[in-house]
Amino acid sequence: MSTAQETTGGEVEPWEEVTPDAARRLLVAAVEAFAERGYHATTTRDIAGRAGMSPAALYIHYKTKEELLHRISRIGHDKALDILRTAARREGTAAERLADAVGSFVRWHAGRRTTARVVQYELDALGPEARAEIVALRRQVDAEVRGIIEDGVASGEFDVLDVQGTTLAVLSLCIDVARWFNVNGPRTPEEVGALYADLVLRMVGAG
């Protein structure tokens, strides 16, 4: 399945943020190549070939291979942050919000597994400035989940001794889904999301 066809609940990932069409095709090709071969083993010729374009055409839209990775990573982290922020700010108990956050975050990592692998595991390939930007977004992701857990502890819903460590464990659990999820496996992204939401609520001692 190509990156353009990855789904969560049947929704196609259009990369609407990326224009024109040629730039979008190159970005999709880069996601597929980075996920399959790794950033360092992928050449700009590989990316252009997958997009059905010449290597020279790539440089019209992206100055470097790193710029492509940075754009992919920025869009992916913005989406991840939006998912968690939406869940964190919804009405409901801390348990309801945490279940929503984990379920949505896991569904994205399963349904967008190719994209998610690049977004989550190629951070060290970025240069210092781009890497610092993405690390700042990751801190915001962490803060959203930590905030929900802190709310649950304060309200007595959760029994958590180490909020920071638990936040790290929850995020690691969700992110790792991108490594192993198989579209031909026994569970759908929705089923995995529901399972992980239940597991995390047990982890934090929700009644």
CA 11 to chain CA mean position, Å: 16
Neighbours of 151 (CB within 10 A): 17
Q: Is the pLDDT of residue 5 over 80?
A: no
CB 58 within 8 A of CB 48: yes
CA 71 to chain centre: 13
pLDDT of residue 207: 73
Phi, psi (rounded to 5 degrees) for 28? -60, -40
Amino acid at the residue 115: T
Tell me how crowded residue 108 is: count the other CB atoms within 10 A of its CB.
27
For residue 15, the model assigns a pLDDT of 84
Average pLDDT, the chain: 92
Q: For 159-172, what is the HEC assignment?
A: CCCCHHHHHHHHHH
Q: Terminal CA-to-CA distance of the chain, rounded, Å?
A: 40
Element (H, E) at 200: helix 189-203
Q: What is the pLDDT of residue 13?
A: 52
Instruction: Please report how many Cα atoms fall inside a 13 Å half-sphere around the Cα of residue 161, on the Cβ side.
Output: 0
pLDDT at 115 over 50: yes
Stretch 99-124: mean pLDDT, rounded? 95
Under a CB-based contact definition with an 8 Å cutoff, are residues 44 and 127 in contact? no
Q: How far is CA 81 from the centre of its chain?
A: 9
pLDDT digits (tens, 9 = 90+) for 149-197: 999 999 999 999 999 999 999 999 999 999 999 988 999 999 999 999 9
Question: What is the mean predicted confidence (pLDDT) over 40-54?
Answer: 95
Lowest mean pLDDT among 5-9, 21-25, 123-127, 158-162: 5-9
Find out whether 122 and 66 touch, Cβ atoms under 8 Å.
Answer: no
Please tell me which residue, 15 or 86, carries the higher pLDDT value. 86
Place of tokens 């638990």: 166
pLDDT of residue 9: 38
Q: Is residue 6 pLDDT above 70, yes or no?
A: no
CA atoms within 13 A on the CB side of 70: 14
